[in-house]
Amino acid sequence: MTQSTDPTELARRFGTPLYVYDLDRARAARRDLFSWLPEGFEVFYAFKANPHVDLVRALRGGGGDGPGCRAEISSTGELEAALEAGYQGSEILYTGPGKTPGELSEAVGRGVQTFSAESLSDLRHIGEAALAHRTVVDCLLRINSATASATTSIRMTGAPTQFGIDSETVAELAPELKSVAGTRLAGLHLFSQSNAKDEDALIGELTHTLGVAAAIQDDLGVPLRLLDIGGGFSVPYAQHGGRDSYPKLRTELEAALDVHFPSWREGTPRLAVESGRYLAGDCGTLVTRVSNVKVSRGKKFVIADAGINTFGGMSGLGRLMPVTVHVPVDGGTEKASLVGPLCTPGDVLGRQIELPADVRDGDLLAIPNTGAYGPTSSLLMFLGRPAPVEVAVSGGEVVSATRIAHVRTPVENGGRR
């Protein structure tokens, strides 16, 4: 008999804290994202959002389920997850501002052929790794544009930053950028925003990015073969609501591409966007059990077994609070703070949020839209508490139930990579 895949039922079966990832919802997000884009666009899935192998496999696609995502990674750990999920090195884009010689050597040695270079020195490091393996790799120059269009929650360009080559310096650097041994200049990587506030903001930023890319192409004096224009596709984070829709995006991008890259319909350049949050966000539900309910100086605190070690370890950036929880239709609500089990006042998932008025010790609370930036972006090791169980479900069946293990192992030769 098929067992229930309802998150609260799974929590009773596997314990809490518990993440449930509905892979069918992830596949639906993938199909939707491709449907908003012009024909021929590629989509890179940003592993930083959630590298769970079953989720990655669902987003990779195959079997007649429409186009699949390529992999965008920035560590050898994410490389391992990509390979385990079935990706070939040729399907992977390796990014990040701090690639070490050991990481680059491992990535090239395991077949990665495309890298995003954040600076001239980063490009040289990539080339050195490629030469050591007697090969040449394709490189996208990540560009830190001096200008922007949209106002978003997280800006990635227009200021001094570790990310990308300042756009105003590209013309001067062009001769060196084009002559780094071991590398082929393949194109550009621009990522200016995350979680755009609405469709107009997203369109404004992406079309502006196309103009910047066209100008950079002129500065370099070489045609682009691959252009990654970034993302910004939005989904609520740990709050109720659905993924945004982008019905105007295809037409607006096509018009901008016709202006800036007239040969794009013939495949020059190949075009790509990247997304993590939009693809993974709404597939996840976090279930936590209430350990204690107390009142302190007139304020109610609901203490759960999920805290910033389980979810929201990036809350110090001011990005993740407050969460919302599913509340029974027939019950009233009351303002209270939802906090975790850790011995720090920073372990807060939501201050004075709506919680069931009759919440008791042992009750289960479900937090929606937690498929992105969950366990692997949290303080998993803090205070030595076990990692949450992660259950992947599809078609009404449990695909897997796993937990990240904290294991200390011996290291030889300094452990440098």
What is the pLDDT, as a whole number, of residue 164? 77
Give the residue-averaged pLDDT of 320-325.
78
What is the pLDDT, as a whole number, of residue 33? 97
Round to the nearest angstrom and report the end-to-end CA distance of the chain. 48
What is the pLDDT, as a whole number, of residue 197? 81
Give the residue-averaged pLDDT of 163-169.
83
Contact of 397 with 384, CB cutoff 8 Å: no
**At 315, phi and psi to the nearest 5?**
-65, -20
Name the region of 310 (left: φ>0; alpha: ψ -120 to 50; beta: rest).
alpha
Contact of 335 with 302, CB cutoff 8 Å: no
pLDDT at residue 316 is higher than 60: no
43-78 pLDDT, tens digit each: 999 999 999 999 999 999 877 788 999 999 999 999
Give the residue-averaged pLDDT of 11-22.
97
Range name among 146-155, 224-233, 237-246, 336-345 with the lowest pLDDT average: 146-155
Name the region of 4 (left: φ>0; alpha: ψ -120 to 50; beta: rest).
beta
Partnered with residue 336 across adjacent β-strands are: 353
What is the pLDDT, as a whole number, of residue 327? 77
Q: Output the average pLDDT for the chain.
A: 91
CA 386/CA 405 separation, integer angstroms: 8
**Residue labelled with tokens 């010790």:** 361
What is the pLDDT, as a whole number, of residue 147? 67
What residues contact 331, with CB distance under 8 A and at least 6 apart?
A: 356, 357, 358
91-113 pLDDT, tens digit each: 999 999 989 999 999 999 999 99
**Angstrom distances, CA of residue 75 to CA of 79, 123, 345, 416:** 6, 16, 32, 14
pLDDT at residue 127 is higher than 70: yes
pLDDT at residue 263 is higher than 50: yes
The type of residue at 39 is E
- As a whole-number percent, the residues of the chain with pLDDT over 70 amount to 92
Name the region of 71 (left: φ>0; alpha: ψ -120 to 50; beta: rest).
beta
What residues contact 213, with CB distance under 8 A and at least 6 apart?
A: 143, 188, 190, 224, 227, 229, 260, 261
Show the tokens assigned to 267: 């495949």
- The gap from C-alpha 269 to its chain's centroid, in whole angstroms, comes to 24
Q: Give CA torsion, residues 103, 108, 111, 115, to 10 deg.
A: 90
